[in-house]
Amino acid sequence: MTQLHRRMIFWGAIATLLILGVILQARADDGAPVSGSVQRATLKSDRDGEIATEEEALLQELSCAISVMALQLPLAQKECERAIALSPQDPVGFKYRGIAYLLEHRFERAEADMKQAIRLDPEDPDSQAGYAQALNGQGRFSEAVARYGVALKLAPNDVRFLSARCWARGGEGKDYPAALRDCNLAIRLSPGNAVAFDSRAFIYLRLAKNAQAIRDFSTSLKLQPDRATALFGRGLAELHSGQTTVASADIRHARRIDPEIDDIYILANVLQEGCRVTNGPCDLPTELRNSFAARGYLSVSYRRSAP
């Protein structure tokens, strides 16, 4: 996403917030009886005893969601925390704070928030899929596949969920035909979806069908340039095909975009764990070995389980 795109989303969201504020104020001015103290329905925070009107709680939830959409993630977490405090029985704050954590790759925290959102609204397919993504990010692929199945029962043929389950099945490594069915359906439903081509390419990579993987990764990149997972995956497929020069360029480019990209492929069982250390077993050539000594793993739980 470009800086211009981020700004358009942000200011569009701000405009929505202002419009909603005007509407709510008009409602209060036109008909809501107010005498001395506010008599509209109120919500009470279990955390600090703060009293808020329903409108105030709604505006806070909207502010939480807008901050996430604008990719203002530290702000989003604070705004969503306040939304949760004002309305702890509403799933919105938990859901959007969970999304913010997902975007930051803080998967354990995302899992906890998505669980809460699902407890409060089990019929929301986006929360179910967010929970699945949190599991996916921790390398818990079998659990993620099952949870994406729940999301797809609530929203059949949702291209996002089909593409994500396709990738999760690839990480699980148990049922590649089912993974390809998910991706093929997603591509039929949305031929311009970069994620679906990226996910199908990942399955071809796992099946050592490198020419098909390169083709689909390249299609994904035409639709979404600078997609790190597609660049890195194409680089691996090119390496396996003996195309060392272009492979090196793709892998280095992917790492510049997303410094955690190696972790994603290690979690997905495509790169060996040894690729994290200087002398460990690793299929990458020496010049493409990455040093991870200065930072932790992508996922806290993965770091705990790794040697």
Per-residue pLDDT tens digits for 126-156? 999 999 999 999 999 999 999 999 999 999 9
Within-domain flag for 171: yes
Range of the domain at 180: 158-275
In this predicted structure, what is the pLDDT of residue 52?
55
Residue 285 confidence (pLDDT): 86
Give the 3-state secondary structure of residue 53. strand
177 shares its domain with 267: yes
pLDDT tens readout for residues 149-199: 999 999 999 999 999 999 999 999 999 999 999 999 999 999 999 999 999
* Residue 298 lies inside a defined structural domain of this protein: no
User: Is residue 194 in a domain?
Assistant: yes
Residues whose CB is less than 8 angstroms from the CB of residue 27 and which lie 6 or more positions away in sequence, other chains included:
55
Q: What is the pLDDT of residue 10?
A: 42
Total domain count, the chain: 2
Distant-in-sequence, close-in-space partners of 44: CB < 8 Å, separation ≥ 6: 50, 51
- Kindly state whether residues 117 and 163 are assigned to the same domain: no
Q: Rounded to whole angstroms, how far apart are CA atoms 240 and 135?
A: 29
The first and second tokens of residue 82, run together, are 């306040």
Block mean pLDDT (10 aa), the chain, length 307: 41 45 42 34 43 77 90 90 91 94 91 96 97 94 97 97 97 96 98 97 98 98 96 97 95 92 89 76 82 54 48
Structural domain includes residue 200: yes
Which candidate, 206, 192, 195, places its Cα nearest to that of 236? 206
Is 33 a domain residue? no
Residue 227 and residue 110 in one domain: no
Map tokens 């050592």 to a residue: 208
Choosing from 122, 144, 174, the residue where a domain stops is: 122
Return the amino acid letter for 140.
R
Task: State the pLDDT at residue 296.
Answer: 56
Q: How far is CA 90 from CA 3, 21, 46, 95, 292, in A?
A: 32, 20, 13, 9, 40
Domain shared by 106 and 219, yes or no:
no
CA distance linking residue 242 with residue 247, whole number of Å = 9
Q: Running DSSP on this structure, what letter comes out for residue 70?
A: T
For 232, residues 6+ apart whose C-beta sits below 8 A from its C-beta are: 250, 251, 254, 255, 261, 262, 264, 265
pLDDT at 295: 53
Torsion of CA 268, 271, 274, 278, to 10 degrees: -130
> Are residues 173 and 258 located together in one domain of the fold?
yes
Share of the chain above pLDDT 90, in %: 58
